[in-house]
Amino acid sequence: MQAVQKALIFTLLLAAAAGQSDAAKDNPIKQEGWTGACQLGAQLKAIAQRAAAHIASRSEAAEQYLKQQLITQIYVEAKQNGEATPAQTALTRYYAAKAEQALQKLRGAEAAKLATAIKNAAQAQGAIAEFLINAGEIADSGTHHCLAAKAGGTAHRPASANVAKEEPGCAVTIDTLPTTEAKPTGFTGTGYTQPTGAAVGSITANGGSGKCSFSTGKNTNHILNPGTGGNIAGTPQFAAGIFTLESADLNIANLADLQTSSSANEFLKGAFAAHQNTKDDLLAYAFKDTNELATDTLYQEEFARSEYKVNLNKLPQGTDIVAKIKAALGPAEEMKAKYTEKLSEVKIPSPNPEIKEQTNLAATTNIADLTAVLEMLKSSNNAAKATKIKKREEELKKAQGATKVTTKTVQEICNEKADADTCRQDKNCKYNDDKKEGPKCELSEEGKQAAEKEAKQEAGGNDGKTDCSTHQDQKSCEAVNTAGKPATCGWRTEKDNEDEKDKVKCRNGSFLAIKKFALRMATLIGSLEY
């Protein structure tokens, strides 16, 4: 609206040309002035485009980082049955953090900053274009004109809308704003470089027969009083404030200082602020290989949390985090190929449940499909883990059953013998036919001695059992065993994942081996994730 009002004032001023005195300074706007203004308009278009590029690049970066996070998780599920290494866990968290950084640049104040930059650049460019396109239209058939010819000099410039063609920065379009990166030029730390040949001050041409009473200035201007003229009390500015109507001439502003604290027009201040708020490099997605991640502080932080369970600043003194990361992720080229170039080798289910044929990870490209595939693989792996847990639980029950059988006391063995003949066959037992209640097969005197010896053996060792490893020869090893009972110690090699697999030495017998096996099974089941 402001630009339209100023353009109307400008048109009215020009309409008063017939009543102006020929003695006044009333030459056209010189070529350096109006082309320089249009060239600034071109840079304002570039600023608006750069702001749009920032929006697009940030959203694309967020999307790509989220995709790479899903790709990494799918790789782990498809190739490693869902068992991620700490380095891979750090990698998925790193991608999530990078996506969050990009999204933060699209929220709140950051989003408003970019939208305002587009607005400010566009309104200033529109004001410049509107003024100069209209000025180019005001000319007669052969002598007078308000814009000097682009070639310079005093030649007549016919009325036309060619300003937009001669200087694209003054073109007004309704095309979609491109989102490719644009790099405005001409701006400095405080403003914009003054156009060559358009020093601060008068911007009207020298000499020539072509006249434009608009440049007469504010004094005795016939726009207020067509008959005798009048003095304009205000300070009209045009082309976003680039040109100002002074007392006796049309002047060009000091474009070198467009800071907030300057006296520049608000259009130009806004345009400069738009440049300041969009000049940073675009935030773009970039895949980093092992070597790059090893020196990336954000990845180092995630690696410290995953591998060491501490923040980066709490790592043990002397920890070479760069070397640790390189060792964990592997050679740079192999790591990059695994997560990018060789994704076609990773076979995955189709995200469409009606398609039974497998596809590959490289062919799945959108977040929704990647998420669906990840859920499918997780479900499959969790089912496999559940089956594995069930199998281990069954093994544990069998082991516990075996332990129960092999750890019966001498008395329990006797008590279970129901008939007299079976009882008397065991020298540790005797049959008491006179007993009215309870088991009639009891401990014999020899059995009582065996039970006493058994109790002493179970009281020994770190866990209440005999520590067989203290015996260094076969004779002393086997001497601790009780006849008729499962061996307490045995001179043998490893079984059930004992230490020193191939070494023959005195080892605990079946009871402790089964006991240890049961404990291992319990630990394994507890560690499996559903």
Is the per-residue pLDDT at 40 higher than 90? Answer: yes
Tell me which residue of 333, 334, 343 sits closest to 365, measured CA to CA: 343
| Contact status, residue 115 vs residue 96, Cβ threshold 8 Å | no
Is the per-residue pLDDT at 46 higher than 90? Answer: yes
Is the per-residue pLDDT at 461 higher than 50? Answer: no
Mean pLDDT of 261-271: 97
Q: How far apart are CA 297 and CA 305, in angstroms?
A: 12
Tell me which residue of 258, 262, 271, 242 sits closest to 32, measured CA to CA: 242
* pLDDT at 471 (0 to 100): 66
Beta-bridged to residue 431, according to DSSP, are 441
Tell me which residue of 367, 365, 364, 348 sits closest to 356, measured CA to CA: 348
pLDDT digits (tens, 9 = 90+) for 307-349: 999 999 999 999 999 999 999 999 999 999 999 999 999 999 9
pLDDT digits (tens, 9 = 90+) for 165-213: 999 999 999 999 999 999 999 999 999 999 999 999 999 988 778 888 7
- What tokens were used for 202? 């008068």
* pLDDT at 501 (0 to 100): 61
Q: Is the pTM of this model over 0.75?
A: no
| pLDDT band of 481, cuts 50, 70, 90 | confident
| pLDDT band of 512, cuts 50, 70, 90 | very low
Q: How far apart are CA 96 and CA 140, in angstroms?
A: 65
* pLDDT at 266 (0 to 100): 97
- What tokens were used for 353? 């449940």
The average confidence (pLDDT) of the chain is: 86
H-helix or E-strand containing 359? strand 359-360
Q: Which residue has the higher pLDDT, 226 or 467?
A: 226
Is the per-residue pLDDT at 359 higher than 90? Answer: yes
Q: What structural domains and CATH numbers belong to the chain?
A: 2-276 (3.90.150.10), 290-380 (no CATH), 407-459 (no CATH)
* pLDDT at 417 (0 to 100): 84
Is the per-residue pLDDT at 391 higher than 70? Answer: yes
Mean pLDDT of 483-496: 70
Q: Which residue has the higher pLDDT, 100 or 231?
A: 100
* pLDDT at 291 (0 to 100): 98
| Contact status, residue 210 vs residue 17, Cβ threshold 8 Å | no
| pLDDT band of 529, cuts 50, 70, 90 | very low
* pLDDT at 489 (0 to 100): 83
Tell me which residue of 258, 107, 249, 90 sits closest to 189, measured CA to CA: 258
- What tokens were used for 234? 């205000």
* pLDDT at 492 (0 to 100): 79
State which amino acid sits at residue 387: T
- Helix ranges (H only) for 153-227 are 163-166
- What tokens were used for 219? 């004094």
* pLDDT at 226 (0 to 100): 81
Of all residues in the chain, the percent with pLDDT exceeding 70 is 83
Is the per-residue pLDDT at 17 higher than 50? Answer: no
Kindly report the number of other CB atoms within 10 A of residue 298's CB atom.
Answer: 15
Is the per-residue pLDDT at 506 higher than 50? Answer: yes
- What tokens were used for 32? 């350096």
Helices and strands in the chain, H and E counts = 16, 10
- Reduced to 3 states (helix: H, G, I; strand: E, B; else coil), residue 158 is coil
The mean-pLDDT minimum among 64-68, 149-153, 455-459 falls in 455-459
The burial of 513, by beta-carbon neighbours within 10 Å (0-12 exposed, 13-18 middle, 19 or more buried), is given as: buried
| pLDDT band of 424, cuts 50, 70, 90 | confident
* pLDDT at 462 (0 to 100): 41
Q: How far apart are CA 300 and CA 294, in angstroms?
A: 7
pLDDT digits (tens, 9 = 90+) for 123-139: 999 999 999 999 999 99
Q: How far apart are CA 52 and CA 111, in angstroms?
A: 11
* pLDDT at 466 (0 to 100): 65
DSSP 8-state secondary structure symbol assigned to residue 186: S
**330-333, long-range: CB within 8 Å, 24+ apart, which pairs?**
330/290, 331/290, 332/289, 332/290, 332/291, 332/292, 333/289
